[in-house]
Amino acid sequence: MEISPGIHRIKCTFGDNRMVYIHLLIGDQSCLLVDTGCGHNPDQEILPYMTEAGLNPADLTYILISHSDLDHQGGDAPMKQIAPQALLMCHDLDRPWVEDTEALIAGRYSQFEKDHGIGYGQEGKEGIRQMCQSHLLDMTLSGGEKIRLGTDWTVEVVHTPGHTWGHLALYDPRSKTMISGEAAMWTSILDDDWRPALPPTYCYVDTYLSTQERLLAMDIETLSPSHWPVQRGPAVAEFVAESKNYCLLVEAKLLDLARSDGPFTLRQAIDTLGPQLGSWPAETNQDFSYGMLGNLDSLTKRGLLNISQDAGPNITWSLP
């Protein structure tokens, strides 16, 4: 559907009742696709939408990947097959994981295995491998770039780190629309029925909170995020403020846990606090590792928690 003049929001489905909204901007000079979904989504949803909209894939100029994650970059290789001339781009900081699925699996999806004993197992990784068909990039960005799509239409790339180091959003000053990806992650990631599917997977808390401040300071009339409904008018600031406040709530809960229970591991924190902080299915609670480790790193850096020096999966945090 067209959410603002020239900006189309396309639902791409994957897995068990999950979806990611990708965006297609159609200008009279050039066209830009934001994200490619998972491996099957270009054929299943993106190409049919383009055909319906009367857009020849040969007229696609740019493909901008918001960040390194299987449901945003997984369709890169099939999309490049459909539109080989389109320039594939992402932020330079996300380049290593966007270009290489194995690097993404090792760096992002296996990051809690050694120190915290939390991971997806071989079967989970095989599933990721099949869904994520990465491709080499044509160029990388750093935020601030302006891309002309029409005579009177230029959109702006905005660096919005937190969920990843190089997360990018795209702002259209003409309609005051922000295609926000996962720059703000609300209080949970939602499924196709708008029910919580998993905890918000912000990772780098200090930059994530700065990103919320930046979004709150911008003139945004319409916010179109990847896994949440479109927000308009006053709902935009509410959505962003709730994203920020939730991250701070998790921080407060972690400090409470250290006070009441003494030293705890990452596994104990997600098992104890996860069910108190949301109503996603129990099996996705382990994805709180991303957010909680982000909070724990931030609390440790600021001297509010101490981290034990033990090696291996029994690293603990406690009050100083």
Q: Which residues bind Zn ion (CB under 5 A)?
A: 71
Minimum Å gap between C-beta 21 and Zn ion is 10
21: three-class secondary structure by DSSP: strand
Q: How far is the CB of 70 from Zn ion (least distance, A)?
A: 8
Q: Is 249 exposed, middle or buried (0-12, 13-18, 19+ CB in 10 A)?
A: middle
Q: Which is nearer to Zn ion, 61 or 180 (CB)?
A: 180
In this complex, which beta carbon is closest to Zn ion, that of residue 71 or of residue 251? 71
d(CA 177, CA 224): 7
Minimum CB distance to Zn ion, residue 181 (Å): 8
Rank residues 71 and 99 by Cβ distance to Zn ion and give the closer one: 71
Residue with Cβ nearer Zn ion (70 or 157)? 70
C-alpha distances (whole Å) from 314 to each of 111, 112, 223, 264 are: 15, 12, 41, 9
How many whole angstroms separate alpha carbon 47 and alpha carbon 201?
A: 29
Question: Which residue's CB is nearer to Zn ion, number 246 or number 264?
Answer: 246
Report, in Å, the least distance between residue 153 CB and Zn ion.
27
Q: Which residue is nearest to Zn ion (CB)?
A: 71
Question: What is the smallest separation between the CB atom of 38 and Zn ion, expressed in angstroms?
Answer: 10
C-beta pairs of 276-283 under 8 Å, 24+ apart in sequence: 277/199, 277/249, 277/250, 277/253, 278/187, 278/188, 278/196, 278/199, 279/188, 279/195, 279/196, 280/188, 280/189, 280/196, 280/197, 280/198, 280/199, 281/197, 281/198
Smallest gap from residue 55 Cβ to Zn ion (A): 24
| Angle CA 252–272–199, to nearest 5 | 75
Encoding tokens for residue 22? Answer: 């990708």
Please state the closest distance from residue 182 (CB atom) to Zn ion, in A.
5
Whichever of 14 and 171 has its CB closer to Zn ion, that residue is 14
219 by Cβ neighbours in 10 Å (0-12 / 13-18 / 19+) ranks as exposed
Q: Which is nearer to Zn ion, 70 or 257 (CB)?
A: 70
